[in-house]
Chains A and B, each alone.
Chain A
Amino acid sequence: MYPAAFDYVAPTDVDETLGILADGGEDVKVLAGGQSLIPLMKLRLASPATLVDINRVPGLDLIDVTDGHLRVGALARHNAIARSDVVATENHTMAAAAPWISDPLVRNLGTIGGSVAHADPQGDWGSVMLACGGEMVARTANGQRTVAANDFFVDLFTSALEPDELLTEIRVPRYAGPAGGTYLKLERKVGDYATVGVAVHLELNPERTRIDRAGIALTAVGPKNIKAIEAEQMLVGEAPGDELFAEAAARAASAAEPRTDVRGSAEYKRAVVATFVRRGLAQAAEQAGRA
């Protein structure tokens, strides 16, 4: 119920933050929204020696469009993303996913950066990033690098971030043409982790006769968020249609690695993956048709 003791520092700019991370080593943890970290600390499943509170660092929560990308600062709160007109226009998958995260109170503090860095396979943003071709921008005292979503989620609760790296922003390429996307989640109640989550991203050619880009990623059915690559690849170059989507759904279901638990059997979860991929593709295609 009560965390172990720790040292606390609240830098007021990025460079100061990076300096602390560079010196700190393994036992320094960044505190963003805290909605994943603080619960772990209260149960003493995590006991960092030092917490670096980055909430007073300005400029890390911007949401805008530059360089052909939708850029969302790591400190952007889930609710800010859910309410953002920019996101609503620029990326339907993100806009659809944001309201599904946890509950409204947690969404007021939880951040996309914190969530993504936490690399929880039950985390919704991870699948959105994989489906939409997201990139994570990480900075150290010495420089900056961009990590593609494919390379960012390494394992259970393990991201590609080094201890001295600060995730500063998430970038998603803008739609090249008519596009749609959605996020479907089966949860027992608001605030429950997903039994199954599916992120779908579809971009069509200007005539809307052909799929140019497809993204399908799965939440809570593996040790990390899963990109259903085979399913995506079989969609590219094809005309959108129910039979095609059903086939892709079956492929996506075989890409899942669900475990049987209280939320359902592995077989059940695969069946839901298939249903959600099928429905998600249909919704995304319909959106792209109207775009």
Chain B
Amino acid sequence: MTTDTVHETTTPPEVGGVGHSVRRKEDDRFVQGAGRYVDDIVLPGMLHLALLRSPVPHARIVSIDTTAAAQVPGVVAVLTGRDLEGYNLAWMPTLSGDTQAVLATDKVRFQGQEVAAVIAESPYAAYDALDLIDVEYDALAPVLSPQQALADGAPLIRDDKEGQTDNSCYRWESGDKAATDRAFADADVVVKLDTHYPRSHPSPLETCGCVADVNPATKHVTIYMTSQAPHVHRTLFAMVAGLPEQNIRIVSPDLGGGFGNKVPIYPGYVVATAASLVIGRPVKWVETRTENLISTGFARDFHMHGELALKRDGKILGLRVDMLSDNGAFFSDAQPSKFKAGLFHIVTGSYDYPAAHVVTEGTYTNKAPGGVAYRCSFRVTEASYLIERLVQNAAYELGIDPAEIRMRNFIKPEQFPYESPTGFVYDSGDYPRALQKALDLVGYDELRAEQAAARAEGRLMGIGIASFTEVVGAGHGTEYDIVGLRMFDSAELRVHPTGKAILKLGVKSQGQGHETTFAQIVANELGIPVGDIAVEEGDTDNTPYGLGTYASRSTPVGGAATAVIARKLRAKATKIAAHMLEASEDDMEWEAGRFFVKGTPSQAVTIQDVALAAYSNLPEGMEAGLEGVHYYDPPNMTYPFGSYVVVVDVDADTGQWSVRRMVAVDDCGVRINPMIVDGQIHGGLAEGYAMSSMQFITFDEDGNCIGSNFMDYMIPTAWETPRFELAATVTPSPHHPIGAKGVGESATVGSPAAYVNAVIDAIAHLGVRNIDMPVMPARVWSAMTDARAAQG
């Protein structure tokens, strides 16, 4: 049942359970500059690694001369692909079942690809040496788009792969073609849209890096690493490097943002580890921003063709989607192995119709590898954008108000759990309520009236709507795995004799506040105050196995594991309490940290009393301690949703647009910490604004990457970033132990279409129906100019 009650709590503020906006425990170290990020780590004898990267997008390597580089004072070693071949490390497996070059051997396949490595006493010396490495390239024609990749006669990029005869990377399909064809045959109107969701990059402010420390005597490997998934990385390192897994420890310390950038394994990590193994000293590799943008996991780059079949009254009958994905030179996405295009098939969106057919094809190109990143929930950003843009255009085509057409088609509250035409089972939702709330907050009817008046004066303003459904919480083991590792997650909880606790998790925060929010889950179940609960993540020696944090899965999966294990401990605590009170277990009641006998509240013990008793006063035959671990296999995904409304004003002469209002109504189920939830939404709305207005990576005709530094890759400042108005509804997830759905990526999923729909709405009366992101002023101007010319 949906409510507007965001702050429902069952514990007092001193305990700080679910629903309290507890101030974050991790902030103490961050506001004192005492965070410990990878580049802050200094080990005795540590060396520095710098990588030489290809200046060209596609070429044979004729020769590499490292003689001069090796002679620079302070240089300890210079490595090429040939050297790594000796250790079988020149290539490594990717998370998508492909292989990726660690240091190029035969060819370079994207501008920025790793070609050689210098290990030196100081980073300055390393960069001096890089300048002196002489590489001779024999240039090949670059392939710079999926269309070029699939054209006849296209150069073969992956000639290293046996049996690869073209540049096709994957083909994947979902839905029912026959049913969809029938639906289209029945349509009054078919609305089509071709749109490119451009390549962008998650670009956290901390770049990727590691300190690899191989103990030469014991061969124990400790890798401090920017990792969102330390356990998976440990297992992969064991498989790739042939090192025994019990001797590998990955420590992911404080991370300066992730957004999916820190999920893949990058060549730098492998080279640093190999170098440390060979040299016997710790090796630090911290990439520059240029390296981060030109070579690490980019995001998006889907060329999408969508067709929506409708009746004249606005009822949607079916959806067809053809999508071409630009995957770069290697298929290295981190996504569930059974879904080659991630969860893109959620593209049916928030609407009730019986038929859809989604065809996806991925291609190799001479660009950096990647695609799944930047808060995309495994490609839900791309999907949500397409459907919300199609629905908006359908509204124009049919002359129906864009809010009204959504209301007519929403999946209704009583239809949940709802099975979509592509097989998702949406757990819960109330879409009309969220949209209505957003419309009321923004004053929709008055704005439409204003728009009509403005148009008469030649003034341009637009209102854009996006009503998105997210799918997160990967996921149930039989459907969701990464390189075969099922996507459960874990929580290990131990209560100490003095009533304090420690929670160890398989997920890994990059700023989402787990040290506070996960403690709140325990506080809620056990009544131990948040401040008394330590939370540990990221050190694979000290935490249970988990699949990590990305795709908004921490709360749905890790949070569930935490609630389950906390409840198991409370069950044991109840037995101990009964023993202490000499009562029967069936007569025990529990309230926020106290166990008491039914009917006699004064006869009570606190959870702290019970904790001590777990080590000192146990029932006969009961094992000591109050601890346990749970690995949670989610029965389904969770489906956060929301409606966003954006109002923009457009300068008719320059094409510049500014956001006048941005109203965001989000429903992520139960909110563990409302303040933190709002913070996640703010961040996502800002990133959505960035993508929609100014941010992309592109390539010139020679294959040079434009967008490989912060002068070209635009990150909005506080000055451009709009103000946001947030509101909420709460529709708990029926299958999640605490009803929470997760929220980290909702705003990046939902907002780009809202911003873009707003700008297009401002000039739709001129006949404009599409402007690809980023909707820069120049593109708005061109759209207007072209539209006016077409009107004659």
- Chain A interface residues (CB < 8 Å from chain B): 1-2, 4-5, 44, 103, 186, 188-193, 195, 262-265, 268-269, 271-272, 275
Contact = CB atoms under 8 A, between A and B. Distances in A.
Nearest to B778: A264
B776 A189 contact: no
Interface in B681-735: 693-694, 698, 706, 711-712, 714-717, 719-720
Given A186-B656, A262-B698, A1 B123 contact: yes
Contact of A271 (B288, B653, B693, B714): B653
A189 B778 contact: no
8 contacts: A2-B124, A2-B127, A189-B716, A192-B714, A262-B712, A264-B777, A265-B782, A272-B654
B781 A271 contact: yes
A253 to B, nearest CB: 12
A188 B717 contact: no
B711 A1 contact: no
A189 B719 contact: yes
Pairs A-B, 4 closest by C-beta atoms: A264-B778, A275-B653, A1-B288, A268-B778
A257 B782 CA distance: 19
B708 to A, nearest CB: 11
B128 A4 contact: yes
A262 B699 CA distance: 10
Contacts of B288: 1
Contacts of B776: 188, 263-264
A4 B131 contact: yes
Interface string B769-790: 0000000111001100000000
Given A189-B716, A268-B778, A268-B782, A1 B127 contact: yes
Nearest to A275: B653
A192 B707 CA distance: 13
Interface in B444-486: none
A257 B740 CA distance: 57
Contacts of A103: 717
Nearest to A4: B128
Contacts of A2: 123-124, 127
Contacts of B715: 189
Nearest to B720: A189
Contact of A195 (B712, B716, B778, B782): B778
Contacts, number: 61
Contacts of A192: 711, 714
Contacts of A5: 124, 128
Interface of B: 123-124, 127-128, 131, 288, 653-656, 693-694, 698, 706, 711-712, 714-717, 719-720, 776-778, 781-782
Given A193-B711, A263-B776, 4 more contacts: A188-B714, A192-B711, A195-B777, A271-B653
B717 A263 contact: no
A2 B654 CA distance: 39
B714 A268 contact: no
B653 A189 contact: no
Which of B653, B693, B698 has most chain A Cβ within 10 Å? Answer: B653
Given A186-B654, A268-B781, A262 B131 contact: no
Contacts of B698: 262
Contacts of B781: 264, 268, 271-272
B759 to A, nearest CB: 15
B96 to A, nearest CB: 30
Contact of A190 (B653, B711, B720): B720
Contacts of A186: 654, 656, 777
A269 to B, nearest CB: 8
B654 A265 contact: no
Contacts of B655: 268
A198 B471 CA distance: 48
B713 to A, nearest CB: 11
A192 B774 CA distance: 16
Nearest to A188: B694
A275 B784 CA distance: 15
Contact of A265 (B714, B717, B778): B778
Nearest to B706: A262
Contacts of A4: 128, 131
Contact of B131 (A44, A264, A275): A44
Nearest to B127: A2
Contacts of A268: 655, 778, 781-782
B770 to A, nearest CB: 18
B124 A189 contact: no
A48 B398 CA distance: 65
Contacts of B706: 262
Most chain B Cβ neighbours within 10 Å, of A2, A44, A190, A265 = A2
Contacts of A190: 717, 719-720
A49 to B, nearest CB: 15
Given A1-B288, A195-B777, A262-B698, A275 B654 contact: yes
Nearest to A39: B711
B778 A263 contact: yes
Contacts of B717: 103, 189-191
B699 to A, nearest CB: 11
A269 B288 CA distance: 33
A189 B694 contact: yes
A138 B306 CA distance: 63
A190 B768 CA distance: 29
A262 B698 CA distance: 9
A192 B709 CA distance: 12
A154 to B, nearest CB: 24
Contacts of A193: 711
A77 B777 CA distance: 31
A275 B653 CA distance: 7
A237 B128 CA distance: 60
Contacts of A271: 653-654, 781
A228 B693 CA distance: 31
A186 B781 CA distance: 13
A290 B723 CA distance: 35
Contacts of B128: 4-5
Nearest to B50: A1
A271 B720 CA distance: 23
A275 B781 CA distance: 12
Contacts of B653: 271-272, 275
A269 B653 CA distance: 11
A58 B655 CA distance: 46
A190 B706 CA distance: 19
A275 B717 CA distance: 26
Contacts of B778: 195, 263-265, 268-269
A188 B777 CA distance: 8
A133 B316 CA distance: 64
Nearest to B289: A1
A271 B776 CA distance: 15
A263 B698 CA distance: 12
B726 to A, nearest CB: 23
Contacts of A263: 776, 778
Contacts of A44: 127, 131
Identify which of B714, B715, B719, B778 gathers the most chain A CB atoms within 10 Å of its CB.
Answer: B778
Nearest to A193: B711
A191 B715 CA distance: 10
B225 to A, nearest CB: 20
Contacts of B123: 1-2
Nearest to A103: B717
A24 B374 CA distance: 50
A269 B776 CA distance: 13
| A5, A193, A195 interface centre (most CB from chain B within 10 Å) | A195
Contacts of A269: 778
Contacts of A189: 694, 714-717, 719-720
A191 B714 CA distance: 10
B392 to A, nearest CB: 25
A163 B652 CA distance: 47
A103 B715 CA distance: 13
A31 B693 CA distance: 36
B253 to A, nearest CB: 22
A276 to B, nearest CB: 8
